[in-house]
Amino acid sequence: MRFVLMSYDGCLLPWAMVLQEEGYDVIMVIPKESDIPHTVGEGIVPISRKIVYDSEAIYVFDSNMGAAWSVAEHLKSSGYPVLGGGRINGELERDRSLAVEIMTSLGLQAPTTYEFSSPAEALEFLDSEEARDRSWVWKPERDAESNFSFVDPDVNRLRAFLSYVSKKYPKSPGILQEYVEGVTFAPSLWWNGEEITHWWGLVEDKKFRHRGVGPNTGCELSCVWLMKEPPDFLDVESLRKFLYDEEVSPGEMDITVQVSRDGDVYFLETNPRYGWDMDVTYIPLLHEGGTSLGEVLVEKSSGGSVDIDTGLYAVSVRLSVPPYPYVPGKGDSGAKGVPVFVDEEYLNSRIFLYDGRKDGDHIVLADNYGLVGVAVGVGPTPEDAVEDLSNTLEHVHVPDLSYRADWEDFLEDVRFVAQKFPPKEAGRGGRTD
């Protein structure tokens, strides 16, 4: 069995390394449209800049932006099995207003939401009577820079931010969503083309520095667990029918919501693709649960499922070196060439690399960005998983390596969510549909 990993965002190197270690034939395609250097993965896994057509292969996508979703649709229409890529996947992620419309039609409530063609238009709205005396969150849409989201209940600070963004990205579309106090929770479903087979609980912290300060990087801290049962705020059968009727490719989709301390749930957004930190964080849980990443993907591509016998939690933290999270200027070598050493028994089992190429007998960073990878810990409680993570971090050695270590507030959020949406119990089977 061969996997062709279509890595537009460069997030599938860890999967390529894990699948190769599991004994599968793997090739990672970094298309010419991608900004990822073609040397990422060189000497570690087979790399191509062009699509490899193989009737026996399974194609996996980490992006549905730009040309990616049309490539996925072409492969699907030509009879190739595709995971994680496609038209509706891209539309749901790029168009937040569409996602709100669809999810509210499936029974979820959402904060009051308005769509704007530019930050300047949103600024004008804030002066309207309708916006007065309410707090709002700005979120970019379509291919806009995702790190230019802004969450702050103070409207004056939001005005200043939108004024800044309107100068930097004057044509960037986005939405204003009414601010809801609470904990962000992203239950993630596994879809095999016919049925929802599993539900994973996910809590993340997206800020670069301790205690929620610094730029939004997409994810810095994560906690993942296999849920005992589907979230009770969703009409699961209506969701299944939507996925089936829209011919959504088999894969994964998170449904990010805000859970208030009173238990109210509000839909925020969805990410129907692979390639985020969760997708490496749960790999140790698959191994603990008696299965493998390759087995999961093979079964999912053919409409099947696997049993995952685990009741454990996994936590992860992002590993980076300067200049991350800032993109270096053109011609700046940045982090390129920084050596990365991971003790062998931890590589691809607890430590997963987003970047790297072979340089002699060791690995160095191929990109100038500085995103190294993710370290994972596992345990019967979130606290035990963090303790295990502390041990994991002793087995990665990179000059100027940085990562967050402030778990107290994050674990409080995890406990709050996990109490309402607990993990399954080991020995009770793996399906949660």
194 lies in some domain: yes
DSSP of 327-365: PPPTT--TTTT-EEEE-TTTBTTTEEESS-EEETTEEE-
How do residues 397-409 score in pLDDT, each as one tens digit? 999 999 999 999 9
**Type of residue found at 22:** E
Mean pLDDT of 179-204: 96
How do residues 100-129 score in pLDDT, each as one tens digit? 999 999 989 999 999 999 999 999 999 999
| Of 127, 158, 178, the domain-final residue | 178
| Of 87, 103, 132, the domain-final residue | 87
pLDDT-derived band at 433, boundaries 50, 70, 90: very low
Q: What is the pLDDT of residue 216?
A: 83
The tokens describing 232, both together, are 């009770």
How many Å apart are CA 186 and CA 98, to the nearest integer? 18
Distance (Å) of CA 213 to CA 152, 210, 324, 348, 404: 12, 6, 15, 30, 11
Domain containing 82 equals: 2-87
How many Å apart are CA 85 and CA 74, to the nearest integer? 10
Distance (Å) of CA 183 to CA 225, 263, 283, 381, 398: 16, 10, 25, 19, 33
How many Å apart are CA 416 and CA 353, to the nearest integer? 30
The tokens describing 190, both together, are 């596994």
- Say whether both 174 and 300 belong to one domain: no
By DSSP bridging, strand 313-320 and strand 371-379 are antiparallel
How do residues 216-268 score in pLDDT, each as one tens digit? 888 999 999 999 999 999 999 999 999 999 999 999 999 999 999 888 999 99
How many Å apart are CA 363 and CA 43, to the nearest integer? 9
Distance (Å) of CA 367 to CA 2, 13, 41, 191, 219: 26, 13, 10, 33, 19
pLDDT-derived band at 146, boundaries 50, 70, 90: low
Q: What is the pLDDT of residue 151?
A: 85
User: Which CATH number covers residue 263?
Assistant: 3.30.470.20
32 lies in some domain: yes
215 sits in which H/E element: strand 213-226
- Say whether both 121 and 244 belong to one domain: no
- Say whether both 329 and 251 belong to one domain: yes
User: Which CATH number covers residue 10?
Assistant: 3.40.50.720
DSSP of 101-141: HHHHHTT-----EEEESSHHHHHHHHTSTTTTT--EEEEE-
Q: Where are the beta strands (DSSP E) in 227-312?
A: 251-259, 265-271
The tokens describing 54, both together, are 């193989």
- Give, in degrees to the nearest 5, the angle at Cα 112 between 106 and 115: 95
The tokens describing 115, both together, are 């769509």
Tell whether the model's pLDDT for residue 78 goes beyond 80: yes
- Give, in degrees to the nearest 5, the angle at Cα 371 between 366 and 372: 75
Q: How many CA atoms lie within 13 A of 254 on its CB side?
A: 24
Tell whether the model's pLDDT for residue 431 goes beyond 60: no
3-state secondary structure of 314: strand
Tell whether the model's pLDDT for residue 31 goes beyond 60: yes
Task: Specify the number of domains making up the chain.
Answer: 3
Q: Is 402 exposed, middle or buried (0-12, 13-18, 19+ CB in 10 A)?
A: middle
pLDDT-derived band at 291, boundaries 50, 70, 90: very high
| Of 153, 178, 203, the domain-final residue | 178
- Tell me the average pLDDT of the chain: 92
Choose among 419, 427, 297, 318: nearest CA to 376: 318
- 13-21 helix and 293-301 helix, angle to the nearest 10 degrees: 100
- Say whether both 171 and 191 belong to one domain: no
Q: What is the pLDDT of residue 27?
A: 97
Mean pLDDT of 290-308: 97
What percent of the chain has pLDDT above 90? Answer: 78
Omega of the bond leading into 422 within 30 degrees of 0 (cis) = no
pLDDT-derived band at 145, boundaries 50, 70, 90: low
- Give the range among 85-99, 278-292, 342-356 with minimum mean pLDDT: 85-99
Q: What is the pLDDT of residue 90?
A: 86
- Give the range among 90-94, 101-105, 204-208 with minimum mean pLDDT: 90-94
425 lies in some domain: no
Q: Are 31 and 67 in contact (CB under 8 A)?
A: yes
- Comparison of pLDDT for 10 and 66, the residue scoring more: 10
- Say whether both 171 and 256 belong to one domain: no
* Phi-psi group of 155: left, alpha or beta (phi > 0 → left; psi -120 to 50 → alpha; rest → beta): alpha
**Type of residue found at 400:** D
pLDDT-derived band at 143, boundaries 50, 70, 90: low
- Say whether both 236 and 348 belong to one domain: yes
- Say whether both 136 and 234 belong to one domain: no
Q: What residues contact 167, with CB distance under 8 A and at least 6 apart?
A: none
Tell whether the model's pLDDT for residue 303 goes beyond 50: yes
How do residues 315-367 score in pLDDT, each as one tens digit? 999 999 999 998 888 778 999 999 999 999 999 999 999 999 999 999 999 99
The torsion defined by the Cα of 352, 357, 363 and 366, in degrees rounded to 10, comes to -90
3-state secondary structure of 223: strand
- Give the range among 184-198, 371-385, 414-428 with minimum mean pLDDT: 414-428
- Say whether both 123 and 205 belong to one domain: no
163 lies in some domain: yes
- Say whether both 59 and 120 belong to one domain: no
- Comparison of pLDDT for 103 and 149, the residue scoring more: 103
- The position carrying tokens 């309207």 is 128
The residues pairing with 29 across neighbouring beta strands, listed in sequence order, are 6, 48
416 sits in which H/E element: helix 408-420
- Say whether both 22 and 140 belong to one domain: no
How do residues 272-282 score in pLDDT, each as one tens digit? 889 889 999 99
For the full predicted model, state whether its pTM sits above 0.95.
Answer: no
Q: What is the pLDDT of residue 300?
A: 97
pLDDT-derived band at 17, boundaries 50, 70, 90: very high
- Say whether both 289 and 394 belong to one domain: yes
- Give the range among 24-33, 46-55, 145-154, 194-203 with minimum mean pLDDT: 145-154
- Say whether both 256 and 275 belong to one domain: yes
Tell whether the model's pLDDT for residue 68 goes beyond 70: yes
